[in-house]
Amino acid sequence: RPIVGAELTLTTGHHVVLLARNNAGYSNLCRLVSTAQLSGQKGAPRLTFDDLAQHAGDLICLSGCRLGEIPAALLRGRPDLARLALHRYLRVFGEDRLYVELQHHDLPGDTWLCAALAELADRSGVRCVATNDVHYATVDRKPLQDVLVCIRTRTTLEQTHPLRRRNGEYALKSADEVATVFRRYPDAVGNTARIASECSVDLDFGAYRFPSFEVPDGKQASVYLEELALEGARARYRPMTSRVREQIDHELRVIAKLGLSEYFLIVWDIVRYAREIGILAQGRGSAANSIVAYCLGITNVDPIKLELLFERFLSEERAGTPDIDIDFANSRREEVIQYVYRKYGADHTAMVCTVVTFRGRSAVRDVGKALGLPPARVDRLAKRLESRRASKVESDLLSDEELDANADDPHWRMLFDLCRQIDGFPRHLSIHTGGMLITARPLVEIVPLERATMPGRVVCQFDKDDIEALGLVKIDILALGMLSAVQDCLALVKQHHGTEIDLATLPLDDPAVYDMLCAGDAVGLFQVESRAQMATLPRTRPRTFYDIVTE
């Protein structure tokens, strides 16, 4: 069973470890992380002791490593300040939720510090707990951790000696190893199991995945969704056949059973707003298989005419959440995002993050700099890489003459080895291209938030896969340059010819369009404008819509 927690740094520079006992504790932990990130500047969180005290409920507090306030005071020769600090934490967390950490990494003074901490805790009626300041899982990962410190501080191994761990004792130790190290403090070892037994957090937030949608006349969301779908069907299908009605009824049953009626209403409302203010919007992806999405105006593809399978988009038998991607004209997407913030509130809305990982070139450049290798040579090697995988760096560079001449140089061997290890490691957080998270509960109670680099934006610290694992649903509000071009084109047609074009009614069998595609004239045509597509089109010679799909 996982223990959910975080190490936080207070404005005094002291560290403290907080563990969630239950879901209430998890919410407080998210609030504290969010408070720290949003109170400070980007990359410089700010958390005061008063903030900590305000949201301490159902959190277990560990006193921290050598940078904790209590051990730091003892190391400065101020036991009086250590005692005052301990009693201040004791007033906030009480005897049941406060533990003094004992750590021993074979550093000078560790034995004395453990004895001093244990004596102080005993006199104050506080339990001790044996921990290890883990910075890497296994001892053989110490060199990688050293390099990551260099990358974070933008320095080299020689320059960061004071910041790096002094030995290999900061790995995850086994139970037997911990018992041996802390044999003088058996109760502290036993308290590790005590804490673990107290911590139980359920990270399923499906009940809060989106806010209630304001429905007119107090109707149920499913009833209002049906009304909108049928209203749209009468406009889209003339006449509305029994086949259309049967498919609508089938989809509405599935949507209601999965509890997604409000989700569809939220997406419909966003598209409705965009069109009301003249922003071109177009749903794409598997959502185009839904006749409900078509009737709501979310998509412009007729799934009945094209014989599309709804279950590819949504099914009772398939786990997971629906994914409706909506493209907006890129020149005005920000207006749509700001509408979502206004409607649901900043407390309930945030952009989803994406975790940028180390790839081949970034790994070579960052690791090479950390090792102190010549920058010009490292940059030249990075540019020669063909694979995006950092694990493929060595095989990509085997033919390099300069490397062949220095094949036995330990620095280059270390570069290759560290690139293999760092492959896929998180490098930094970025904003998802368009994923927005909207929740019923305040977001700070469900996910930790932080400032984005873009001014005025807040991003949650979980990516799209984390969001789905938590049972939450994101809405993709994407920007597409081609939609801006299409919107300009529609405006010009109306201006010069007085004709308003409905994209949903454009025929899919216009011979002139297929003649153009067969000639490879696809510049600016979304999805078929790549070099590979333009080279293939004259050979496959599509004459129907499904020919394009196959191609």
231-290 confidence digits (pLDDT tens): 999 999 989 999 999 999 999 999 999 989 999 999 999 999 999 999 999 898 889 999
Output the pLDDT for position 366: 94
Across the range 365-377, mean pLDDT stands at: 91
Residue 408 clears pLDDT 70, i.e. is over it: no
Side-by-side strand order, sheet with 458-463: 281-284, 325-329, 474-480, 426-438, 349-357, 458-463, 449-451
30 with 448: CB under 8 angstroms? yes
pLDDT at 195 over 60: yes
pLDDT of 391 higher than 90: no
- pLDDT above 80 (res 320): no
Select from 1.10.10, 2.30.30, 1.20.1050, 1.10.540 the CATH code of 359-424.
1.10.10
Residue-level pLDDT at 453: 80
C-alpha to C-alpha distance for 371 and 374, rounded to whole angstroms: 9
Give the closest residue to 152 by CA, choosing from 166, 170, 137, 164: 164
Q: Over 90: is that where the pLDDT of 131 sits?
A: yes
Average pLDDT over residues 471-483: 89
How far, in Å, CA of 335 to CA of 83, rounded? 55
Does 110 score more than 60 pLDDT?
yes
For residue 6, the surrounding DSSP H or E stretch is strand 5-9
* Separation of first and last alpha carbons in the chain: 48
- The answer to whether residue 159 scores a pLDDT higher than 90 is no
The pLDDT, as a whole number, for residue 434 is 86
**pLDDT at position 394 over 60:** yes
pLDDT at 456 exceeding the cut of 80: no
Give the pLDDT band of residue 365 (cuts 50, 70, 90): very high
State the DSSP code for 106: S
Domain 5-134+172-198 and domain 359-424, same fold? Reply is no
Angstrom distance (rounded) from CA 394 to CA 385: 9
Round the average pLDDT of the chain to a whole number and report it: 91
Separation in Å, CA 314 to CA 286, 342, 422: 9, 29, 37
Q: Which residue has the higher pLDDT, 317 or 173?
A: 173
Most confident of 220-229, 298-307, 470-479: 220-229
Residues above pLDDT 90, as percent of the chain? 65
Task: Give percent above pLDDT 70 in the chain.
Answer: 98
Q: Is a pLDDT exceeding 80 seen at residue 162?
A: no
Q: How confident is the model at residue 347 (pLDDT cuts 50, 70, 90)?
A: confident
Q: Mean pLDDT over residues 482-487, rounded?
A: 89
| pLDDT for 117 | 98
pLDDT at 411 over 70: yes
CA count, 13 A, side-chain hemisphere, 367: 29
Looking at residue 403, what is its pLDDT?
A: 61
Distance between CA atoms of 392 and 408, rounded to whole angstroms?
19
Inter-residue contact 363 to 419 (CB < 8 Å): yes
Cα 246 to Cα 336: distance, rounded to the nearest angstrom: 33
Q: What is the pLDDT of residue 34?
A: 94
Domain ranges of the chain: 5-134+172-198, 208-354+429-481, 359-424, 507-551
> What average pLDDT does this structure show over 497-508?
87
Tokens representing 70 are 């209590």
Give the CATH fold of the 5-134+172-198 domain: TIM Barrel (3.20.20)
Nearest to 397 by CA among 421, 380, 373, 409: 380
Confidence of residue 502 (pLDDT cuts 50, 70, 90): confident
